[in-house]
Structure formats: C-alpha cells, structure tokens
Structure 1
Amino acid sequence: MSLIDIGANLTHEAFAHDLPAVLQHAADAGVTRMLVTGASRAGSEHALALAKAHPGRLFATAGVHPHHAIDFDDATEALLRELARDPAVRAVGETGLDYHRNYSPRDVQLAVFEHQLRIAAELHKPLFLHQRDAHHDFVALLRRYRDRVPGVVVHCFTDAGEALHDYLALDCHIGITGWICDERRGTHLRELVREIPANRLMIETDAPYLLPRTVRPPPPHRRNEPMYLRHICEEIARDRGESPAVTAANSTATTEAFFGLPPAP
C-alpha cells in the first residue's frame, strides 16, 4: 500500500531527537508522503523547512491553530501570506475554532479564523481546518468563504453525524485519525466513516498525538508516528466493509488530487 498522512506534526519536540528514524519507519510501512502541519508562526516556518529538506516526500501547511490565535498579529498574517505562496505549502491551516479548551478567547478565534479564510481565498489555496465543540460558529463562517477556496478538509474529524452531513453538503473532505480506534470516545466514527464518499475521505495520524489504542502489541510509549497510518487504514477499511488495499488506493488518489501532489518518489 502507498499511503499519505495528511496531518503529521513533525515539528513537535517529540521528534527532535530521531526524525530520520521516524521517516524511515513511515517509509517501511508504506507511508510515502506526509503533510507537515503548521499550527503557529514558528511551526509553519519549521514545517516549510522540513518540506524543503525532503522534497517530494514532505509537504507543508501554514497556519495558526485556534489555541494560538491570541498571538496572531499583522506580522503573523504577512508571514503566512509569504509562506502560503511557496509551492511546498499545499494548504492554509491548521486553523479553525476550538471551544473545548478556549486557550484563546472565542471572539479572537473567530477573527483569526476569518483572516486565514481570506488568505486562502486570495491565494486560491485549500484549507486544512480544525473544529472542536464549535460546529455552529465554524460552519456558519466557513459557508461564507466555501465557494472562494478550491478545497476544504476538516482534519481529525471527531464530531457527530449532523456535523459530518453539514461538511459533506459543503463539498468538504474529511480527515480520519486513530480517534476511530478509541473505544472510549471514537466508536461512533466506526458507523459514520461508512457515510463518507471515497473521494472525500483522507487519513492521518495527527502524530505525535492520538496513538491508536488498538495497535498490538502496544508500543512502550504513547508517541504516535506516521508509520501507524497503515493500522488506521486497516481499521477504517474494516469499518467500511472493504479491503485495506481499496481504502489505501482511494484515500491516496483523493489526497493527491486535493493537495496537487506529485506521484510517490
């Protein structure tokens, strides 16, 4: 299987000491390409640097996560515009709304989200989005910009059926992570994943977060890695009633088309 991880936080300090090994483990598991998530000003710069260091294998996003919205200023906006113009940056984000933790005030989150929606619209870039416990405000603002951007992926989808149907009605793509493997809070996704059309489904690890709880034998640590994307693909395939090869081929083709990725090296 040739797989693409659309959300890997490879700039995280958890990978600082052994990133080459992490990339090799991923390649050995069939993960041929990865989107490195930019979630802050510094993180977006780092994501692009990694993409440039591994051309054809790593690509980047550039954005400010709602947790960091309070730090967004004119200089940050200017930098994101500059980064997003680079061919290695394939989407604007990670941006959106997070009312679960509210690390940034909600009015600030909304304003910063809209700033990044405008950047994507002006530069005609896809959006890589985050939403938690903020669906009403999130979808209301997204609707205003949806026809002005070439594509939208709601990354790490964990919400209920109503949200899924709203996103699909807006012609959004859906990113599924190892959350689906969590028997405490992700079992509803095993039903919902069947409702996602093959040409709208993408898969991701969100590494180093969300280590799939069904990996056997369990690793001696809690760090998620892109190599576990294969396991997530197999779980999704089982829930969709199709072979892992079919899930892999469809999600890879969908991801290549969405981000405009070249063939695997």
Structure 2
Amino acid sequence: MNTYIDIGINLTNKQFNNEHEEIINRALENGVEHMILTGTSVKGSRESAAIAEDYPEILFSTAGIHPHDAKSFNENSINELRKLLKFPHVVSVGECGLDFDRDFSPRPAQEKCYIAHLELAVETGKPLFLHERAAFKRFNEITEEFISKLPKAVVHCFTGTLEEAEVYLDKGFYLGFTGSVSDEKRFKHLEEVIKYVPLDRIMIETDAPFMMPKNRMSRDQNRRNEPSFLPYVAQTIAHFKKISVSEVADETTETARNFFKL
C-alpha cells in the first residue's frame, strides 16, 4: 500500500466532534501514516497539540492564528504560541498569513498578526504553514522583509495562478495541494500549475473537513472531507504529471517528513 502524510487537517472542527479515533483509524487504513493538525487560533492550537499528544508518532500539530481570527490577536498571543512550539510534536508556525477574500478580520490586524508569526518562525526555527488568499501582492511585500532569515515555508491549500506559483518557488517555498486540484470548474488552471511545479516541492493535504476531492464525491453524497481521502489528491496529481500514484506518494511523503522533521 502507498503511504502518505496529510500536512493539514482541522481535527478540532465541530464536524469531527467525538469521532477522532474513527477518523484517525480510517486514515491509517488508507495509508495515511501521519497527519498534522492545523492550529488556527491560540485556543485551537492548544486543542490540536493536546489531541496530537494522545497519538504519538501519528499526529503532529501546528501553532498559529489564521488571518480570519487575527482580530483575536493580542500581546499575549505570541507567548502562548511560543510555549506550544517548545513541544516536539508541535512542528510548525501557523496557520498564518493574509486573507483579503473574506476579510473576516481587518486588514491591518491581519498584517500585524502575520508579521508576529514571521518573527516567531525566525526565533524558533520551525517551518511556516502559510495561508494567502486574494492578498498576493501585500503578502509578498511583507514576507520579502523577512525572506533572508526565514526557515522553510509551505503555502498551504494553493489555488493561485501559475505566475504566483513561480514567485513562491523562486522564494524557496513549497506548495500544498488539496482536493481543489480535481475541481475542473473552479480550479481548472491548477492542472497547468501541477505540471509545472517540481514534484519535490509539492506536499499534499486534505484541509479536512473542507476541500472534498471531486473524484471522491461521485461515490457518495457525504460532502465532509477527511484524511482517509488523501489518496484521491495524489491520484489527480499523478494523472496531471503522467506518473504513478506510488511516485507521488513516495516523493510527497519524503518531502513532508523532511520539511516538518517528523
């Protein structure tokens, strides 16, 4: 069986309440050996770290504040995240960045919060788990100020253009791809992106319970995504690159293992 690493799942989401063990077991049965739980707030980062601690060497977590939640950022936030990042199973700073698509938090608050995360990554040396949506220009202006000092970084759930992918690759960043790669209506352009991006700069993720792969949805009406569906993401990437699923599985797993030091 092929083995995989899901670099981004939202296991603290209410859609997974009281189902953690079942979700994890189904993932393991489908070859998803490791899963990284995404921290999107101080509270959520604490919860993710606590869950991951209960499944050593299977689950890991990140610590950060999603731009949607940047309005909650205060003088104590970074200290709380810093404490979490001292745990070996908390492997990354984030999710952090800018989201000018929804603007759930004011843009100045998002920028202040993002800069604080970049400083924290420089301080701790732990890699960055980045979010950028409809904010490419400003996101890169801010990031560029830190680029010479930053540890490794992955732009997760990438749905941008080929030109944007080229800029991120030139910065040395990695790109995370979800089930969106199989959405031929909204994200047809990602086929061109996948063909261009070197396989050793790609990681895969479900972003569960969101971003259900379209090549999975035809099988049932359950629209909730989960990490056991990660192989469907790998299948689409293999199809676009005209290589075997095993090659995608092996390479993305090795890349993620090295990136997060699992």
Query: TM-score with structure 1 length normalisation?
Result: 0.96
Distance 2:208 2:90 in 1: 19
2:9 aligns to what?
A: 8
**Offset, 1:63:** 0.1
Other-structure match for 1:101: 102
Deviation string 1:18-55 (CA, Å, 9 cap, x unpaired) is 11111111011100000100001111001100110001
**SS where residue 34 of structure 2 aligns?**
strand
Q: Which ranges of 4 or more aligned residues in structure 1 deviate by more than 4 Å?
A: none
C-alpha contact (below 8 Å) 1:29/1:227 kept by paired residues:
yes
The aligned residue for residue 183 of structure 1 is: 184
The aligned residue for residue 237 of structure 1 is 238
Instruction: Please list the CA deviations of residues 144-169 of structure 1 after superposition, one character each: whole Å capped at 9, or x if unmatched.
Output: 21221220000000001111011000
Segment drifting more, 55-64 vs 70-79: 70-79
Does residue 34 (structure 1) correspond to residue 19 (structure 2)? The answer is: no
Taking the aligned partners of 2:193 and 2:28, their CA distance within structure 1 comes to: 29
**Alpha-carbon displacement from aligned partner over 1:55-109 (angstroms, at most 9, x marks no partner):** 1000000000000000000121210111112111111000000000000111110
CA separation in 2, counterparts of 1:94 and 1:216? 27
Bigger mean CA deviation after superposition, 31-40 or 180-189: 180-189
Do the aligned residues in 2 keep the contact of 1:3 with 1:33 (CA within 8 Å)? yes
- Residue 217 of structure 1 deviates from its aligned partner by 4.0
**Number of paired residues?**
261
CA distance in 2: counterparts of 1:257 and 1:129, whole angstroms: 17
Distance 2:217 2:139 in 1: 36
Partner of 1:91, secondary structure, is strand
How far apart are 1:218 and its partner, in Å? 2.8
- Going from structure 1 to structure 2, the CA distance change for 1:44 and 1:151 (only over 3 Å counts) comes to same
Q: Is the 8 A contact 1:8 1:226 kept in 2?
A: yes
Distance in 2, matches of 1:171 and 1:31, equals: 26
Structure 1 letter corresponding to 2:37:
V
Q: Is residue 162–residue 192 contact of structure 2 (8 Å, CA) maintained in 1?
A: no
In structure 2, what is the equivalent of residue 255 of structure 1?
256
1:82 matches 2:58: no
Within 5 Å, which residues of 2 pair with 1:149-228?
Answer: 149-215=150-216, 217-228=218-229
**Residue 58 of structure 2 is aligned to residue 57 of structure 1:** yes
Letter in 2 for 1:177: T
What is the one-letter code of the residue matched to 1:215?
Answer: R
Q: CA 1:166 to 1:218, structure 2 compared with 1: closer, same or farther past 3 Å?
A: same
Name the % identity.
39
Give the 5 Å matches for 1:133-144. Answer: 133-144=134-145
- 1:125, 1:149 within 8 Å by CA — same for their partners in 2? no
The letter for the 1-side match of 2:55 is: H
Secondary structure of the corresponding residue to residue 160 of structure 2: coil
Give structure 2 stretches of 5+ with no counterpart: none
For 1:255 and 1:195, the matched residues in 2 are separated by: 19
The 2-side partners of 1:208 and 1:237 are apart by 23
